[in-house]
A and B are shown apart, each in its own frame.
Chain A
Amino acid sequence: MSKVINLKRGLNIRLKGEAGKVLETSFEAVRLALKPTDFPGLSPKILVKAGQKVKAGEPLFFDKKNPEILFTSPASGEVLAINRGERRKVLEIVIQTDGINNSVEFTKADPQKLTRTEIKEQLKKSGLWSFLKQRPYGTVAKPESTPLHIFISGFDSAPLAPDYEFILNGQVSSFQTGINALAKLTDGKIHVGISPNQANGFFSGIKNIVITQFSGPHPTGNVGIQIHHVSPISKGDLIWTISPQEVIYIGRLFETGKIDLTKIIALVGSEVKFPKYYRVTHGANLSGLLKDATKKEVTERFISGNVLTGSHIEYDDYLGFFDQQITVIPEGDYSEFLGWAMPRLNKYSISRSYFSWLTPKKEYKADANLNGEERAYVVTGQYDKVLPMDILPVFLVKAIIAEDIDKMEQLGIYDVIEEDMALCEYVCTSKTEVQSILRNGINLMIKELGN
């Protein structure tokens, strides 16, 4: 029997447009892109030129600070363009796929028979290393380090998130191979957190893992929250994290010796006609997928990821590196006459100054309107209600703004990354940009104390 942890604090925001359990497999993206900007703090060194032919698994760029970690092409084809933004910052490396998916040949072997060094080499060369994140800070794992444990969250509790039981279905053997490879990288355990209704689900058949069951509202599905309750991070501790579909990438690599980065994502949100699941390749261009999928009744906002942590993308953009859902919501760029005084029955709020508490089952159509203006902190105790951690969130945010490294450390900056405090930003009356403040704090920690 697995351990059960009940968390009370948090919030499930009920939004319209959850994906139905239908999988669309016919979608094929003709263009893919890797975006170095998906990795905070990464400075890429480009290894390819426009026009060059590449195979799946061939390196496109590496991080100048960690030259060992290669970022490789998710499919075979031709480098179409290297798009740059202000100050020649690399925004994306675009690949035109050839549809054959010709991969570089890697070692095909049972990871249980390989050594830690051999597995590390294989992961680094194939580019799959870039999926391993480390805590503290949520940056790419350092190859020379050994983590205390590896954590995987077996469910996503974010608004309109995909159902992992559905997207992982039928991939037990690849997942098991991936776990066996990862198990070689740590002296500790591989921890998987599951939700109560997964007790007899996908993960119950997997060996070599320690399962903990988490119940409660979002953010219980966040791996950071799960780490905090199983093995909280102190100064000097190192934990690695990875998500299940990425474990399957690793599994496929060792099973076939080839790179196969297809995954299942959910297209969701109130503006999507038929929210459902799609099989896509990593970094796929989304224009084909989004072309006829949305209602086009209002100005739409496309988000790669969920409404709390995702990145704002354009219609003709690419799927983010770690993202497993595309959310489409109204932009909400309207003004409302005396809106602050109106009953606003269609608006959702955690506070009872609106009437959403009367309709506990109703699903809401949320838009990207700020619903107010940025202010100094006035209301207190709001953040604590949505962060199920032993942390005083407002004091941590203030320590970051004051750039007080000692206080940041004492108040728990090692425990959190942006996604963990995203709900704090959502509920904030003063509309404080909590996630961007937290990232600044993490960047400061890395600059002052090293990664």
Chain B
Amino acid sequence: MKSLRKYLDKKKPLFKPGGKLAKFGSTFGAIETFLFTPNHTSKSGTHIHDAIDLKRTMTVVILAMVPALLFGSWNIGYQNGLAFGIERGLLENFMFGFLKILPIMIVSYGVGLGIEFIAAQIRGHEVNEGYLVTGILIPLILPINIPLWMVALAVAFAVIFGKEIFGGTGYNIMNVALIARAFLFFAYPSQMSGDAVWVYELPSKVPVDGFSGATPLAQLAQEAGSKLHSFYDMFMGFIPGSIGETSTLAVLIGAAILIFTGIGSWKIMLSTVLGALAIGFLCNILAVNEYMALPPYFHLVMGGFAFGTVFMATDPVTAAHTEKGKWIYGFMIGALAVLIRVFNPAYPEGMMLAILLMNVWSPLIDYFVVEGHIKRRLKKAKLKAND
């Protein structure tokens, strides 16, 4: 490692302002700080700093998504096998799926990081770590049959218009990965919904008799609830759906990692679940159709609810920033997601729209929480003055 360090130190002056390759300064900095933690020491204020930084934080989030990625890979193979009556082993299923996901991930990271590096260079900033997480989130929330050029287009749109024009990581208003998904959902609905997009090779080849590639949400929206998968299948994730979203179990392992390390907000996760259960329960009581009559806890294991709750609603930049606000924000996401699912059959997946809507609202929630805080402080001061 010493020789690598020496090599970097030798090349460094080239990338400094005034150096020959100064226009690649940010790129060099990103690679250098990726390989070696910087030797910067404290110049003002506290002399010591906690060992945590953004790279470590993002690493933990990626680690938390690995179970969903692994299960998703397996499920691609498994669903494909089901559809065409092919028998494969555990590892075969996994490899089958993983090789299908890999190109999507490469395109996502390639395009996204490319834009990040260019944007950082234009601004003269360091490259931020934000896209490391977004880059893997995006493949996990797309159907497996998505054409790669669409992935590239959506990533470019989301990174440029969802993040960079606001100033980069930490300044965006809406979750970047969800912007990519929403872009595709509205621009290319036929590739993003329906019964054929979730299972590899389904549109081109004829499946075995009786196989339906419909997701549980679609089944309910089509009032085909009688064919609905069992709760167990949906919890484990043996169902068609976006690549990483199907297994609630895998997502829960990620949730445990995020909550235990303190990196994901348990308040948002819990309140989102509570919001969904509350509205789900209300619908259940007032049920006039099959969808409304669905037991409320079914919402938690269907579609992208679990995945969105754990990995997208908790995005600290776009969520509410106040602790009280997080409760309101999460509850509203859960409630809206179920409302959209049940009452708007045109959008079978309510979670994406619910989170995006609450992303927009979260500054408003924070505004009221902060105003409330200020009023309470003033009242306390007045009470003291009257003593």
Chain A residues packing against B (C-beta within 8 Å): 13, 15, 231-232, 234-235, 301, 303, 307-310, 312, 327, 329, 331-341, 344, 347-354, 356, 366-373, 375-381, 384, 390, 392, 394-395, 410-412, 418, 422, 425-431, 433-436
Contact = CB atoms under 8 A, between A and B. Distances in A.
Contacts of B36: 335-339
Nearest to B260: A352
Nearest to B126: A373
Interface in B18-72: 33-42, 44-57, 59-60
Given A341-B59, A352-B262, A411-B374, A380 B51 contact: no
B58 to A, nearest CB: 9
Interface string B363-387: 0000000100110111011001100
B223 interface: no
B284 interface: no
A330 to B, nearest CB: 10
Interface in B288-320: 316-317, 319
A353 B39 contact: no
A368 B60 CA distance: 24
Contact of B40 (A232, A348, A369, A411): A369
Contacts of A310: 47
The listed residue with most A CB atoms (<10 A of its CB), out of B5, B373, B385, is B373
A428 B377 CA distance: 25
B169 interface: yes
A339 to B, nearest CB: 3
A370 B41 contact: yes
B34 to A, nearest CB: 8
15 contacts: A234-B384, A308-B47, A312-B47, A327-B47, A349-B52, A353-B56, A354-B52, A373-B33, A373-B126, A375-B129, A379-B316, A426-B46, A427-B50, A428-B50, A429-B52
Q: State the main secondary structure of chain A at its contact with B.
A: loop
A353 B60 contact: yes
Contacts of B57: 351, 353, 378-379, 429
Interface in B228-282: 260-263, 265
B171 interface: yes
A309 B44 CA distance: 9
B109 to A, nearest CB: 17
Nearest to B265: A381
A16 to B, nearest CB: 12
B130 interface: yes
B39 A369 contact: yes
Given A339-B36, A427-B50, 11 more contacts: A351-B56, A353-B262, A370-B41, A371-B37, A372-B52, A375-B170, A378-B170, A395-B321, A427-B52, A431-B49, A433-B45
